[in-house]
Structure 1
Amino acid sequence: MISSDLLDMMAFSYNKGIDSLDGALAMVSERWLYLPSSDELPCSDDTPVDNEDQNFIPNLLLFLLEFIWAERNDWFFGVDMGIYHTTGINPLVPVVPDGFLSLGVARRKGGQSRKSYVVWEEEGVVPSFVLEVALGIGRSRYTSGDVQREVLYWYDERGKRYLTPEEQLARYRERFGELP
């Protein structure tokens, strides 16, 4: 199967008068020579747009992974971080999910935190899990003490909401009393 990048390159080559595959491949190689480093790419636009839940969920996942995989150094979980890649129209425009996990990469790059996740600096390793918290789906009111907020709940295919662990525990106590 021919990739869309190869087809684009072939069409561009034809329009530029490059009539051999070697010439076209040389042009693709040149494209990779001019990709900026992570130090040259923007890592923040200083525009806060996430709400509390969009920060809480990916940061909780990061905390759990750091606890569970404390001894591992072959993974990276980014939160609200730009992912620069070459599969889109412009490699200078990042995708910025709420969170993402990449496996098979160094936890810290050269002992430093990453400013952005730059796929061409990660030997082509793309995230294997991407999280985008979609507010408005499964939304309901939740009260904790005197604080009330909207939260997301899981629903089954029939639209019935799954009980939270706290609700499951309360239901158990109603039926059977305290835990043994």
Structure 2
Amino acid sequence: MTDRIAIYAGSFDPLTNGHLDVLKASLAVADMVFAAIGIQAAKKPLFSFEERVSLIEQVSAAEFGKDAGRIKVVSFDGLLIDAARKLGASIMIRGLRDGTDLDYEMQMAGMNETMAPELQTVFLPASPSVRTITATLVRQIASMGGNVRPFVPAPVAEALADKFRS
């Protein structure tokens, strides 16, 4: 039997409880999940690539125990389908918060299917408790000294506090 390999792409800047929710669900769908951090030269992230890798690995180890070994963090630039092919993934995981996400993601899935029919897009709905969380809002709240602990794992909350203290 062939391993089911999935790719779950995002900026993860920072990793939120919503991302974690989708990662957990993706472990039920795939044997191996690549958390693929998109690198865009035009965007200046709050956390470096290395910091995001460290946070994802640290939080995954705490949250998923032995299953954390089934999550590998990688970077990609360019098209997600090219990264998926390079990594041997046959599944592209997309998290959905609401209908707006669904409309956008359906368009992307259609375009991706035309370019890469061998790849299957799998939509995973976010749990109700994390549907409102976005990394953008988390960064904004943290930058103004607000409490982000309800929205991110503890190590991420600490990393955000450190970022905005300095």
Q: Same fold (TM over 0.5)?
A: no
Q: Give the TM-score, by structure 1 length.
A: 0.25
Higher helix share: 2
Could you say which structure has the larger radius of gyration?
A: 1
Q: Give the TM-score, by structure 2 length.
A: 0.27
Higher relative contact order (CA 8 A, sep 6+): 2
